[in-house]
Amino acid sequence: MANSAAILDIGVGTMEHKQATTYSTTAGNLTLAPAGQLVMSPVGGNIQFNGDLYALVGGSANGPRLMDEAASLTNPVFTSNDIDTGLGFNSTSDTPVLIGGSKSLLSCNGSTDRSCTAYGDNGATRVCGFQGNEVLTFSGGGDASQVTTGLIPAGATDISVVAVVTTAGTTCAGASYGDGVDVDLYGADLAVAATTTMDPSDYTATVNYNATSGDEVTITGTNGAGVPADCVDMVVRVMAYYCTLTAPTG
């Protein structure tokens, strides 16, 4: 069925076609105006827009959006399938990329550490995020301390460390968090109850924001007054936020 210059207006009701049908408007508009919602529900196919501008446009006064749903529902993953190399937004797997001036400006990793990469000229990059994430477990027989492995790499900048006790410790009344040199750099005699946190408000000195060598976090059990005491069965998640820089390639 062709409609070359007029308007095809479906006000209410149902229009159904069992086979492929083409509506062609040469000079006019194709208007679908139901009293309620316009529902397109293809089975085993896609809803495809093939206009000259390849655009899905909504009136700005009505707050156009791709989805409006209850907050309790799970949002679907929206993936761009056409890359605008000059300006726009693209995504590869779980990594959305912001593009400007025909160059990648910023990308964020959604599948691992949720870090974000800022791109400079000539291959220079700056990656920032909670890139260090490790769980330390004190044994059932008791341990004086536990140390992370490879938490913060050499060359890291803007370092911050946070932690949370996920399983309470026993026999020790407190725990200190240090860097292997200063035993309580990140926190002194903090509680060992579950959900106890350590954050920058607990730091006892200025943290070395530039790691010339790899840095680790050491958790030492105490009696609550700075005296060492073994901790039993305590489990702590330690996370490190930092940035790494990559030099330009030329």
Which domains occur in the chain, in start order?
A: 131-246 (2.60.120)
* pLDDT value, residue 35: 63
Using CA atoms, how far apart are residues 237 and 146, in angstroms rounded to an integer? Answer: 12
* pLDDT value, residue 206: 87
* pLDDT value, residue 210: 80
* pLDDT value, residue 137: 98
* pLDDT value, residue 171: 96
Burial 174-205 (b: 16+ CB within 10 A, else e): bbbbbbeebbbbbbbbbbbeeebebeeebbee
DSSP one-letter code for 77: P
**First-to-last CA distance in the chain?**
60
> Mind listing the pLDDT tens digit of every residue in the chain (250 residues)?
444 455 555 555 666 665 666 666 666 666 766 666 667 766 666 776 666 555 566 665 665 566 656 666 655 555 554 544 555 666 666 677 777 777 778 888 876 677 899 999 898 999 999 888 999 999 999 999 999 999 999 899 989 999 999 999 999 999 999 999 999 999 999 999 999 999 999 999 988 678 878 899 999 999 999 999 999 999 999 999 999 999 999 8
* pLDDT value, residue 13: 61
What contacts 26, CB < 8 A, 6 or more positions away? 4, 5
Geometric angle at alpha carbon 117, from 114 and 121, rounded to 5°: 175
